[in-house]
Amino acid sequence: MTTFKKLSNLLSKYMDQTVYVAGVGVISAIGNNVAEHLTSFERGEAGMADITLLDTIHRHKLPVAEVKLTDEQLIAITGPTTHNSRTALLSLIAAREALTDAAIPNLSSLRTGFVSANTVGGMDKSEDFFIEFLADNNKGKLKNVFDHECGSMTEIVADQLGITDFMTTISTACSSSANAVFYGTRLIKNDILDVVVAGGTDALTKFTLNGFNTLMILDKEFCKPFDEHREGLNLGEGAGYMVLVSDKVAKTLTKPLYCKLSGYNNSNDAYHQTASSPDGTGSYMAMKGALEKSGLKPSDISYINLHGTGTPNNDSAEGTAVKRLFDPVYPPMSSTKSFTGHTLGASGGIEAVFSALAIKHGIIYPNLRFETRMSDLPLEPERKFLKGQNIKHVMSNSFGFGGNCTSLIFSGI
């Protein structure tokens, strides 16, 4: 056998191996852990409310989905870190839950990585610095801007988790943490790592809220994704991570696995800096590519966790792409952002966790506040929380600014 054929066979062997989800962790406006999220979904309890923690001129004007813990309360859970940005604190809570849930024996002997996404970095602490600094340039704590960038959040949390083999940060707007899961899977398939904690985190900041308000895509009421009368999104915050493991590691675990990642694709239609193409080109390419990777047909999908931000542009574009791919028979679908708000860089990771839970528990999440089907599309999201469903394959969509679109497909084992 030639050297080329040997190399080709070796690469094929690794790329064909299955990557499993062994553990999950999440924190958002509807819960501080997985169990609380499941309870909130079943009770139909959304996390949107008046702003209470963020010091902003938009308080009592724009609803948001805040995690219901102050920074001090988060630190009481995590313990102090080298930089107590809310972004890092949320990340650490969810990542620790995922690792504890996975219960991997002898983790230190395995090649372990941390692939984390965020878009805001330590902006919350930087904003605190500039309030004092602008009033008096002899004041302000420089440590609040020292770890400002997105990558620092990943390094801080990886250090707290004791992960030193590999770490990297992904920041591709709202598809960021879906791409983190995508990338973590490829690291395992290429035999670079055995275990990857993958997902993302983002905290609410004045910078983010002001920026989205300037784009005029925030709803002054609670958002209603995929409704004919939708007016925009509600910003949220949180973190979601899953522990991905190789075949080799999966065989050592006694705790049941959640599912496997069977398909994934990232596409970019390069249509606009902040808008989706009206015909949903990027969304369609991402979903179609994920299906091809998984070897599944549209009719195999049991549930779609829609990107579903609630903006007129996003829902129309995503809906058009769903129609193009699934018409005339549509699987159940919904936007869980009707519960959590749009958590930006964390959304793909949080919704990946929800997808794994949907398979494990046989559930379909409701699309809160949906009333009227969009006039130009023959589809509508699920309105009720459904239990006891036969969920075999879940598609999770995460579509970001700049046309960066990612779809993940999770499948039962």
Q: Give catalytic residue positions.
A: 174, 307, 342
Select from 310, 321, 250 the least CA-distant residue to 285. 321
Q: How far apart are CA 137 and CA 362, in angstroms?
A: 57
Q: How far apart are CA 196 and CA 206, in angstroms?
A: 32
SS3 241: strand
Q: Are strands 259-268 and 404-411 parallel, antiparallel or unpaired?
A: antiparallel
Tell me, letter by letter, the H, E, C secondary structure of 318-373: HHHHHHHHHCCCCCCEECCHHHHCECHHHHHHHHHHHHHHHHHHCCECCCCCCCCE
In degrees and rounded to multiples of 5, residue 407 shows phi and psi of -125, 135
Long-range Cβ contact pairs of 37-44 (< 8 A, separation 24 or more): 37/354, 37/357, 38/357, 38/361, 38/363, 40/339, 41/336, 41/339, 41/363, 41/365, 41/366, 41/385, 42/385, 42/387, 44/366, 44/368, 44/385
